[in-house]
Amino acid sequence: MRHRPLGRTGLTVSELGFGCASWWGKPAFEERQALGLVHRAIDLGVTFFDTGASYSAGEAEPRLGRALKGRDASRLVIATKAGTYHAGGGRIARDVSPAAVVASAERSLKNLGLDALGLLQLHGPAAAELTDELLRALEDLKARGLVRALGVNSFDPALIERVVALPEFDVVMVDYNVLRPEREPLIARAAAAGKGVLAGMALAMGHTRPLLSRLKGPQDLWYAARALARHRGELARGRGFGFLHRQPGISGSQAALAYVLANPDVSCAVFGATRLAHLEENAAASGLTLPQPLMAQIRAAQARLT
């Protein structure tokens, strides 16, 4: 597994990160398997793990905490998010007030069993919520040694643009994958400003393959329902990328990850997986170079995106 610097934080992360979210964190997904995936990821050299206070209806963080029990977490960068929380009944609520963000970070430390968070990110804040008071509260968490780096996770390019100009933030997490080449200028500006850049949804949620061909287990039904409810645009964009999965010597997921990692401004491509074979296949994408004709084919398919 190769590693990259996380912007100017002084932290180094594996170039592939494991997302502890969605189906991975749900009680319906067997605990033994979920923990086994984290342990295998560590064995494969993954040092960056991404979760959030509201992920998997609040179940993902404590589950990651259980996975880390007895492991040497000092070599790992554990990232979580604040600003959203599970409000019961599957409802996610927002509270980006300074008091709520600080309380969330303190709860996250307990859930994860850590003395310090590697990275605390605000989860989809609005520009108006980035008040001086909030920025001071975040810096105070850093000064208290509870957080090593601060970031913002947002899929709103205008918001990320604003964050890039704020010196208090070290990292941005954007939706960057083979279906989102339009993020590249923004990523370049973030990196030029010294921010660590995390690519969330690095596999485009699997939407480069037809939905029906992916339905094999309960997790696939869950991801399909989420896609139909919230990501129809990504599903449509993915239709022109089936060729990724018909290449010799490289799987479609490896090609998708290698595409993200071909961008030197990306510190880490974060993917989710609930199958061990997927995790192992993805980890093997570290260090792969996309053949030039395949990159040209990707660029041609991207040019056809509306």
Ligand X SMILES: NC(=O)c1ccc[n+]([C@@H]2O[C@H](COP(=O)([O-])OP(=O)(O)OC[C@H]3O[C@@H](n4cnc5c(N)ncnc54)[C@H](OP(=O)(O)O)[C@@H]3O)[C@@H](O)[C@H]2O)c1
Q: Assess 76 for contact with ligand X (CB under 6 A).
A: no
DSSP for the chain reads --EEE-TTSS-EEESEEEE--GGGGSTTS-HHHHHHHHHHHHHTT--EEE--TTGGGGTHHHHHHHHHTTS-GGG-EEEEEESEEE-STT-EEE--SHHHHHHHHHHHHHHHT-SSBSEEEEES--GGG--HHHHHHHHHHHHTTSBS-EEEE-S-HHHHHHHHT-TT--EEEEE-STT-GGGHHHHHHHHHTT-EEEEETTTGGGTTS-SGGG-SSHHHHHHHHHHHHH-HHHHHHHGGGGGGGG-TTS-HHHHHHHHHHTSTT-SEEEE--SSHHHHHHHHTTTT----HHHHHHHHHHHHT--
Q: Assess 121 for contact with ligand X (CB under 6 A).
A: no
The Cα–Cα gap between 217 and 222 comes to: 9
- Minimum Å gap between C-beta 74 and ligand X is 21
Q: Assess 278 for contact with ligand X (CB under 6 A).
A: yes
Q: Assess 47 for contact with ligand X (CB under 6 A).
A: no
| One of 100, 156, 281, 305 touching ligand X (CB under 6 A) | 281
Residue whose CB is nearest to ligand X in the complex, by number: 19
Q: Assess 271 for contact with ligand X (CB under 6 A).
A: yes
| One of 58, 125, 200, 238 touching ligand X (CB under 6 A) | 200
Q: Assess 21 for contact with ligand X (CB under 6 A).
A: yes
Q: Assess 159 for contact with ligand X (CB under 6 A).
A: no
- Minimum Å gap between C-beta 14 and ligand X is 14
Q: Assess 273 for contact with ligand X (CB under 6 A).
A: yes
- Minimum Å gap between C-beta 84 and ligand X is 11
Q: Assess 265 for contact with ligand X (CB under 6 A).
A: no
Q: Assess 270 for contact with ligand X (CB under 6 A).
A: yes
136 CB neighbour count, 10 Å cutoff: 12
Q: Assess 274 for contact with ligand X (CB under 6 A).
A: yes
- Minimum Å gap between C-beta 13 and ligand X is 13
Q: Assess 286 for contact with ligand X (CB under 6 A).
A: no
Q: Assess 112 for contact with ligand X (CB under 6 A).
A: no
- Minimum Å gap between C-beta 190 and ligand X is 16
| One of 150, 174, 201, 301 touching ligand X (CB under 6 A) | 201
127 within 8 A of 159, measured Cβ to Cβ: yes
| One of 203, 227, 266, 268 touching ligand X (CB under 6 A) | 203
Closest by CA to 123, choosing from 87, 155, 153, is: 153
If the CB atoms of residues 136 and 213 are measured against ligand X, the closer one turns out to be 213
User: Which residues bind to ligand X, rule: CB under 6 A?
Assistant: 19, 21-23, 50, 153, 200-206, 219, 223, 253, 270-275, 278, 281-282
